[in-house]
Amino acid sequence: MRKKIAAGNWKMNLTAPEAWSLAENVINAFKGNTKANAQVIFAPPYPYLAKVVEMAAGNDRVLVSAQNLHQAENGAYTGEISASMLTSIGVTHVILGHSERRQYFGESNSLLASKIDKALAHGLVPIYCIGETLEERESGQTLDVNRKQLSEGAFHLDAANFSKLIIAYEPVWAIGTGKTASPAQAQEVHGFIRSLIAEQYGLDVAGQTSILYGGSVKAANAAELFTQPDIDGGLVGGASLIAADFAGIIAAL
């Protein structure tokens, strides 16, 4: 059975006390959830990772992700963070290819392919983000853009490695804008992504891959999105910063 996941990307938000209180409240709210295949993933800023890992210890369905990593093993890269630093403090996942990294930091599919390789080499689970801009959607390029990002970033992997990935479909026009893709719009792309994975790796791998939707997910729209056949949960920005809101999203898994 594939995993149903609520991942909260805190981005560059929260002071330390706010972060501890958010993590604590969400972990407590998730305690009563008995769905065996449900997972919560926190993606805090780097300075908070070790402490949030400690807070999540003891609940094997609560995991911690970095928001990025550097593709080199180690060395003279001031300000960067390596895969082994992350695993050495108990981080298990890493978000790669978020549209903000693509847009503001110029991250290309080929750079992301090398980051995915580095993450996998260290046993980290990449949460690989893909998604089209508004302009691309309006000019009819949605499926082509998603195909290109998926294939150039991840289809160099063999099936064993690809099956470790989580994919996040995040239409750029829906991120932080309050505009959510309709369940039908999201399902169309999720179904397409799963069909591409099936073509490349077969139905078993496609059926096991969790594909998350991201883009203004809220407690109020989560259930409608998550009940689509190819949507396995959400990668959530804004609403993951408020414990009650994120708990509502988790409940919809």
Is residue 217 near ligand PEP by the rule CB under 6 A?
yes
156 catalytic residue (yes or no): no
Which CB atom, from 95 or from 154, has the smaller least distance to ligand PEP?
95
Q: Give the whole-angstrom CA distance, residue 191 versus residue 244.
A: 30
Question: Is-catalytic flag, 170?
Answer: yes
Give the separation between CA 29 and CA 228, rounded to whole angstroms: 24
Between 129 and 201, whose beta carbon lies closer to ligand PEP? 129
As given in the structure block, the two tokens for residue 163 are: 């099956």
Interface pick for ligand PEP out of 107, 132, 136, 170 (rule CB under 6 A): 170
Catalytic-role residue among 100, 132, 170, 190: 170
What are residue 234's DSSP bridge partners?
A: 6, 213
Give the separation between CA 28 and CA 23, rounded to whole angstroms: 9
| Residue environment code for 215-236, b if the CB has 16+ CB neighbours within 10 A, otherwise e | bbbbbebbeebbebebbbbbbb
Find the part of the chain contacting ligand PEP (CB under 6 A) among 104-112, 118-126, 159-167, 213-221.
Answer: 213-221
Figure out which of the listed residues 214, 219, 225, 233 binds ligand PEP, where binding follows CB under 6 A.
Answer: 214
Q: What's the first-to-final CA gap in the chain, in angstroms?
A: 14
Q: Which residue is nearest to ligand PEP (CB)?
A: 237
Nearest in space to 90 (alpha carbons), one of 126, 57, 42, 48: 57
The least distance separating ligand PEP from the CB of residue 167, rounded to whole angstroms, comes to: 13
What does the chain come to in residues?
A: 253
Among 28-36, 49-57, 209-217, 242-250, the segment contacting ligand PEP (CB under 6 A):
209-217
HSE toward the beta carbon, residue 133, CA cutoff 13 A: 7
CB of 67 vs ligand PEP, minimal distance in Å: 10
Residues engaged in binding ligand PEP (CB under 6 A): 9, 170, 175-176, 214-217, 235-239
* Residues noted as catalytic: 98, 170
